[in-house]
Structure 1
Amino acid sequence: MTKLSVNINKIATLRNSRGGDVPNVVQFAKDVQEFGAEGVTIHPRPDERHIRYQDARDLKPVVYTEYNIEGNPVKSFIDLVLEVRPTQVTLVPDAEDAITSNAGWDTIKHKDFLIDVISEFQRNNIRTSIFVDPVLEQIEGAKETGTDRIELYTEAFAHQYGLGNESAIKPYADCAELANKLGLGVNAGHDLSLDNIKFFSDNIPGLLEVSIGHALVAESLYLGVENVIQMYLRKLKK
């Protein structure tokens, strides 16, 4: 079954809006795992506008499932990941002022850089994944970097599926099939929700993990966190 990793950035955003420690991100991470989530994802940015670097350290002792840290591999991020040593690091080429991630890596243009960064993490026994657009050439380029996995950037699928265009799944399925043939693990994330997750997961071969944050937290406002996690798990079950 595809693993569900809950991105808790939005919980940190809510906490930071009042300057205190409510809601507590460490407790939330404990809770989502207790409710059935099979991983916790965070995406600290240099300005620490939601998840803070200290949060990454504080979460390490309590995440007993998959611990995934996403981010742009600037020096401070690399140092943090090497200190915390999560289960997985997902490399995302987001600009410092980006509201959210909005593109995958050009794995051909940035091949040498990615090789250097990925090899450093792997030497420290940290599984690596790189955020990519659903383009076959970029999957081939990802293989050349030595990464363990790719994470398919799913915003385009989610948008088109919401408009009724189910054919938007094809480039993702094709890329997943190629990744499987190349020996790359396949993750996915961005704008996946209760509305589209079953169709997506049913059509992506070898999908190992999805990372969901914004939609899951928003849906939980109406339906409750524990209930929503169980709903995702049922939809991901094959």
Structure 2
Amino acid sequence: MTKLSVNVNKIATLRNSRGGDFPNVVKVAFDIESFGAEGITIHPRPDERHIRYQDAYDLKKIVTTEFNIEGNPIAKFIDLVLAVKPTQVTLVPDAVDAVTSNAGWDTVKHQSFLKEVVSEFKRNGIRTSIFIDTDLKLIEAAATTGTDRIELYTEDFATQYALGNKKAVEPYTQSAVLATKLGLGINAGHDLSLDNIQFFAEKVPNLLEVSIGHALIAESLYLGLENVINMYKYKLKVSKL
């Protein structure tokens, strides 16, 4: 069964827009777990424009499922993750001014750096995942870093699927097959939604976890948060039948 981890960055964006503490990120994360999600994801950025570093500490106290912290492993981020010790850290090569994640790692070019970072996190008992595109050479290189998992960057699939191109999933299928052979766990995220999640999960073998934020929160404005979480879980379940 593929686990659903809900990214609560958008909740923090809404909170920060008024300068107060409503909606409260910790309360929403608690409710999301009670509605059936199997994980909470956050992606703090250096400018703290949505998730604040303090949120990571506060969430650690209440998350009872899997806690996943995503981000670019600059020194401040590494220190945060080592202090909080989440279930999983997902390494994302974000530029400081990036609006959202827009590329995976070049695991060949940054091989030495990633090995060092992965080793440090694993030495502290934190599962590691590398955000990556579907280039098979990059997946092979990811395996040599010692990472536990990769997270497939799914924006291209989502864009093409919306245009009716279902063949866009094929590179993700091939990537998952190779990753499994290399002993890597497989996560996925970015622009996955209720429209495409079941098809994606059907076509990508051994998918352990999906991390969904923007679409899930937007869909919840119309359908309700508890309802949407269970709709995702149902589609993920059906995809494996």
User: Map of 1:133-152 to 2, 5 A cutoff?
Assistant: 133-152=133-152
**C-alpha separation between the residues in 2 aligned to 1:38 and 1:13?**
22
Helix, strand or coil at the partner of 1:145? coil
**CA distances 1:74-119 after superposition (whole Å, capped 9, x unpaired):** 0000000000000000000000100000000000000000000000
What secondary structure does 1:211 align onto?
Answer: strand
Instruction: For residue 59 of structure 1, report the CA deviation from its aligned partner.
Output: 0.3
Q: Which amino acid aligns with 1:136?
A: L
Question: AA paired with 1:157?
Answer: F
State the shift of 1:189 in Å: 0.0
Where do residues 13-28 of structure 1 align in structure 2 (5 Å cutoff)? Answer: 13-28=13-28
Give the equivalent residue in structure 2 for 1:178.
178
- Could you say what secondary structure the match of 2:144 adopts? helix
Q: Extract unaligned runs of 5+ from structure 2.
A: none
Deviation at 1:73, TM superposition (A): 0.1
Q: After the TM superposition, list the runs of 4 or more consecutive aligned residues in structure 1 that deviate by more than 2 angstroms.
A: none
The equivalent residue for 1:233 is 233
Residue number in structure 1 paired with 2:73: 73
Aligned equivalents of 2:68 and 2:225: distance in 1? 20
State the distance in 2 between where 1:188 and 1:138 align.
Answer: 16
The code of the aligned residue for 1:120 comes to: E
Amino acid at match of 1:209: E
Q: Tell me whether 1:97 sits opposite 2:97 in the alignment.
A: yes
In the TM superposition, what is the alpha-carbon distance from 1:174 to its structure 2 partner? Answer: 0.1
CA distance in 2, matches of 1:215, 1:192: 7
Q: What is the aligned partner in structure 2 of residue 107 from structure 1?
A: 107
In the alignment, the residues of structure 1 paired with residue 216 and residue 138 of structure 2 have an alpha-carbon distance, to the nearest angstrom, of: 29
Paired with 2:202 and 2:62, the residues of 1 have a C-alpha distance of 31
**1:23-62 mapped onto 2 (5 Å cutoff):** 23-62=23-62
Paired residue for 2:8? 8
Q: Which amino acid aligns with 1:146?
A: G
* Matched positions, count: 238
Output one character per residue of 1:121-171: Cα deviation in whole Å (capped at 9) or x when no partner.
000000000000011011001001110000000000000000000000000
Note the residue ranges of structure 1 that are not aligned, 5 or more in a row: none
Partner of 1:208: 208
Q: Distance in 2 between matches of 1:138 and 1:186?
A: 14
**In structure 2, what residue type is equivalent to 1:14?**
L
Residue identity matched to 2:83? E
Q: Give the match for residue 116 of structure 1.
A: 116
Q: Secondary structure at the match of 1:41?
A: strand
Q: How far did residue 20 of structure 1 move?
A: 0.2
Identify the residue that residue 85 of structure 1 maps to in structure 2: 85
Cα distance between partner residues in 1 of 2:101 and 2:74:
15
SS at match of 2:130: strand
- The offset of 1:62, in angstroms, is 0.4
CA distance in 1, matches of 2:176, 2:145: 17
Percent identity over paired residues: 74
When normalised by structure 1's length, the TM-score is: 1.00
